[in-house]
Amino acid sequence: MTKHEVWDRRKFLGSAAAAVTVATLPRRALAADPVRIGLIIPKTGPFASTGKQLEAACRLYMQKNGDTVTARKI
């Protein structure tokens, strides 16, 4: 391997690292947005009562313990 090949590889890796850094910058700006958590629970059919109880339990937990984690709203 000659120095010219190593320099090209280093330049490529440096450019790739810079591109990844630039691509992730907008995501850091969205860090203040609320965290969304989805529940997959049954709402109809034979297990509808279980789904309603699970949803009520999640809401009760959030009422008692708050809806923020590390200063971010859930």
pLDDT at 12: 78
pLDDT at 40: 92
pLDDT at 28: 54
Mean pLDDT by 10 residues, the chain (74 residues): 64 80 62 82 93 93 88 82
pLDDT at 18: 80
Helix intervals (H) in 1-74: 3-29, 48-65
pLDDT at 5: 57
Q: Are residues 42 and 48 in contact, defined by beta-carbon separation less than 8 angstroms?
A: yes
* pTM (predicted TM-score): 0.52
Q: Are residues 34 and 72 in contact, defined by beta-carbon separation less than 8 angstroms?
A: yes
